[in-house]
Structure 1
Amino acid sequence: MSIVPELSATFWTNWLLAAMAGEIAGHALNQIYLHRSGRVIVALMLCFLATSILQGTTRRLPRVMFWFAAFLLSLLGAVLAETTDISMGVGDGGAILLIAIPLIFSFVICYRLTGNLPGPADGSNVRGFFWATAMLAQTVASACADWIIDPGGPSERLAIAVIALGIAATIGAHSCMRVPRPILFWPAFVLSGTVAALAGHVVLRSIE
């Protein structure tokens, strides 16, 4: 059995829910343990690493392990985005740029070593790159959401319109053009992750 769910509407729906839950949990951790963010990040990375290793070594409950790992990387992304902003003092825009640099290197290194872009594949030589890249990509998405809701950030309506156009363009390219799946997967991943993070902030606002 494949440990990677099929990239269908169900996959993206589950990913939105996992990323939204991770954003909410990450915001809660930031509120409680921001002064100990280093320890929190180390603990989350160890949990995420253990889950990724367990997913690759056992065939029990493969889909459950996959979505638990997705939740963990979303939670870690929310904590990393906030910590980068606060600790570096560069603002949300600067945090996005700082996190985007290792994300680009992740694509380059994976392509140089494996000949492929990282993607949700079952091959052991790509799976590790996928989770590392996914963590960085979701951190960028969470930082983008923080920037959008920041009073000094861009117009929320304009940002939502840009995200909607990006999603529409990705779907159009997938339907009408023969573009390799990994190339389309990552823009869709970041855009959907940003939507999920924004939805998480909306839920938190309604609770508060």
Structure 2
Amino acid sequence: MKDDMRSIASTAVSKVPQVTIGFWVIKIAATTLGETGGDWVSMSLKLGYLVGSAIFAVIFVALVSGQIRAERFHPFLYWATIVATTTLGTTMADFADRSLGVGYPGGVAIVFSLLIASLGIWYRSEGTVSVQSITTARAEWFYWITILLSQTLGTALGDWVAGKDRGGMGFGYEVGALIFGTGLAVIAALYFWTRISHTFLFWAAFILTRPLGATLGDFLDKPVAEGGLHVSRLYASLFLLALMVACILFLPQRSKRGEETA
């Protein structure tokens, strides 16, 4: 029975990539793409945050369903699902911050509460929230819902730190990116030189890469008067997509059990 369970666990976990430097490089590119892509749909196309969220929610559910049905790790499927969480996270956070009128602090508080609830329910159900222990479809759904909420929280955090309106701290995009980049460096140091739970540090880093990407994305596409470079959201998104594809092709992509992937 234990051998059977280990076999099942190995198969399921193989759909999640090893957490390496390459993983974090692609993750930051994906989060930046989520910001520019989400803003392109909701703002540039003038569809609004609610309609944009509905569109990305359908894509998110479809990709997660495909990820769960897959029998092994597929890099492009996995990272497409990550991008779906970043774009949906962007429009959801903007809807909470702006359309609901709760401001950046209110949006952060709401999404943070939902993320803690998701982690708590996942832990109560599975006994762990480690990405190395995803052995069932239910655990995979917990994994992706938690990722979605972490991306949404990261977007809200980035807007709160960089923004000047709606209760924002007003640090601007460059300083905001520096703050979150420093936070990631601290987490990396804690990972290598302390005994703090690696599961906790993983989720902390996963959350912080999102506001880093959000501030970088805003820096690219916001007007010069607001501290950005005013690059077209569509062109910025296409560039980031090309960068992601190149990284997936040329950076080593291995499953958790160390299985080679194409």
Task: State if a TM-score over 0.5 links the two structures.
Answer: yes
Alignment deviations for residues 20-41 of structure 1 (CA, whole Å, 9 cap, x no partner): 1111010112213454x33432
The counterpart of 1:204, out of the listed 221, 226, 236, is 221
Q: Which whole-Å CA distance do the structure 2 matches of 1:146 and 1:164 have between them? A: 15
The runs of 5 or more residues in structure 1 that have no matched partner are none
The counterpart of 1:170, out of the listed 187, 192, 204, is 187
Q: Which whole-Å CA distance do the structure 1 matches of 2:52 and 2:176 have between them? A: 30
Q: Which whole-Å CA distance do the structure 1 matches of 2:163 and 2:193 have between them? A: 36
Aligned identity (percent) is 25
Whether the 8 Å contact between 1:120 and 1:127 is mirrored in structure 2 is: no
2:80 corresponds to? 68
2:144 corresponds to? 131
Q: Which has the higher helix share?
A: 1
Query: Which residue identity is paired with 2:206?
Result: F
| TM-score, length basis structure 2 | 0.72
Whether the 8 Å contact between 2:16 and 2:73 is mirrored in structure 1 is: no
Q: Which whole-Å CA distance do the structure 2 matches of 1:106 and 1:14 have between them? A: 25
Query: Which residue identity is paired with 1:169?
Result: V
Alignment deviations for residues 92-131 of structure 1 (CA, whole Å, 9 cap, x no partner): 1111111111111011101111100253654224221111
Q: Which whole-Å CA distance do the structure 1 matches of 2:149 and 2:70 have between them? A: 25
Query: Which residue identity is paired with 1:4?
Result: V
1:189 corresponds to? 206
2:154 corresponds to? 141
Greater shift after overlay, 48-57 or 131-140? 48-57
The runs of 5 or more residues in structure 2 that have no matched partner are 1-10, 223-228, 233-262
Bigger relative CO (Cα 8 Å, ≥ 6 apart): 2
Q: CA RMSD in A?
A: 2.1
1:162 shift after superposition: 4.0
- The total of aligned residue pairs comes to 207
Q: Which whole-Å CA distance do the structure 1 matches of 2:64 and 2:120 have between them? A: 22
The counterpart of 2:53, out of the listed 25, 41, 48, is 41
Q: Which whole-Å CA distance do the structure 2 matches of 1:30 and 1:58 have between them? A: 31
| TM-score, length basis structure 1 | 0.90
Whether the 8 Å contact between 2:158 and 2:176 is mirrored in structure 1 is: no
Q: Does the residue aligned with 2:131 lie in a helix, a strand or coil?
A: coil
* CA gap 1:91/1:181 in 2 versus in 1, 3 angstroms: same
